[in-house]
Amino acid sequence: MVGSYANGGAAAAAAARASGEKLDELRRLLGKADGDPLRVVGVGAGAWGSVFCALLQDAYGRHRDRVQVRVWRRAGRAVDRADAERLFEVINSREDVLRRLIRRCAYLKYVEARLGDRTLHADEILRDGFCLNMLDTPLCPLKVVTNLQEAVWDADIVVNGLPSTETREVFGEIRRYWKERITQPLIISLAKGVEASLDPVPRIITPTQMISNATGLPLENILYLGGPNIASEIYNKEYANARICGADKWRKPLANFLRQPHFIVWDNSDLITHEVMGGLKNVYAIGAGMVAALTNESATSKSVYFSLCTSEMIYITHLLAREPEKLAGPLLADTYVTLLKGRNAWYGQKLAKGELTLEMGDSIKGKGTIQGVSAVNAFYELLSQGSLCVMHPETKKPVAPVELCPILKTLYKILIKRELATDSILQAIRDESMYDPRERIEMAQRQSLFRPSLLGLPKGDAKA
């Protein structure tokens, strides 16, 4: 027993040394002086944003004099009675959490909330380690700030945990607080969503581009981190990997800083394309959820859908990348995990079962924003533009690319136009005139489809 304690102590000391060395290396690159802590601020407190900051707090929180991790979220969001009762159950099922709250003199308020004698708020429970979108997975306690200016004005690294639909507005406000700054912060964006801009030419706008436009920061200071990850599983130390994409100067140091034994972070230079792919898989995840619910989880039907939707995604990647085969692995892995357990697939299931309606919007209690809905609209708008015409394989006439993406068209008519019922997704995959998925992929490979202008790149440019 003594030996096991000694070994545990040695392992903890070694981990502390390793994290301290990684922290010092990043501090050196950022030019931080002794006594001036590295300030990391998470903006937005959804499931992934909260987990990401909690991972950093767990890894580096012991070095309080050298790093400070904080999370900004809006004040005033009340926790309803049902969630308060669920929180109480979670707390009492976890002895470590219960003891922690008792030590912090914070347990009584959860008892009172369960009885209906007190109203809890989302920022309040996050300080105790509970994310409103992920109540069943307690996190470490977090430093929470509800004043945006206080949170970001001196931040060295800002983690964008906002939905893409809120990113532009919040970072536009942040710009006001950075007017007097001498140094430029780094941004790590976790957002998976896109917008379409049709004027002067059709193009996709990603969250990193939104941030650059809103703040005036150069794109080399803004990076994207994505991967096939479920937030709660990562915090529970299920093995996972991700990619941080962006400029050479920062992506490798940040990959090293973020890497943990159970969370491997690779790096890649192709920022915009990886971001777009992160938004694309959410589109088809909603349809996967619909198919699963409508066929009573039929493995055969789900595999048919997977085959067809991945062929559409591969076709679309040929429009967006000069070397789309390099994206196949990351895109399919991210799609796979999203179809298995992501919120977009869950949303599709609930719609098909009638447990949710489109009139409820795309911000769902306990789940946050369903980013696949706005992504359906963006990709449809973009790919329906006549200026992007491709050759139809049968009629040999030019058509908009969306005409070769029947699932995307169907999802648009269900979710955006609201012209079709959810069971129309089954008709789309059972259409006898549907192409063999192999044919769509071969069609994409035969034609020169790459349109750099879709990513806002000059003609002939392959880099983001």
pLDDT in tens, 224-247: 999 888 999 999 999 999 999 999
Residues in the chain: 464
Q: Exposed, middle or buried by CB within 10 Å (0-12, 13-18, 19+), for 317?
A: buried
The residue annotated as part of the active site, out of 281, 350, 409, 413, is 281
pTM of the model: 0.90
Task: Kindly report the CATH number that applies to the domain delimited by 3-76+143-269.
Answer: 3.40.50.720
User: Looking at beta carbons, which pairs linking 93-96 to residues 24 or more positions away fall under 8 Å?
Assistant: 94/138
- What's the mean per-residue pLDDT of the chain? 90
pLDDT above 50 for 185: yes
pLDDT of residue 222: 98
The CATH number of 272-455, from 1.10.1040.10, 3.30.390.30, 3.30.450.20, 1.10.287.10, is 1.10.1040.10
pLDDT of residue 435: 66
Per-domain residue ranges of the chain: 3-76+143-269, 81-120, 272-455
pLDDT above 80 for 11: no
Strands of 335-455, DSSP E: 363-364, 368-369, 390-391, 398-399
pLDDT above 60 for 393: yes
Q: Is 252 a catalytic residue?
A: no
Reduced to 3 states, what is the DSSP secondary structure of residue 281?
helix
Residue 396, both tokens: 């040999």
Inter-residue contact 148 to 178 (CB < 8 Å)? no
Residue whose structure tokens are 């869950």: 346
pLDDT of residue 262: 94
d(CA 458, CA 464): 10
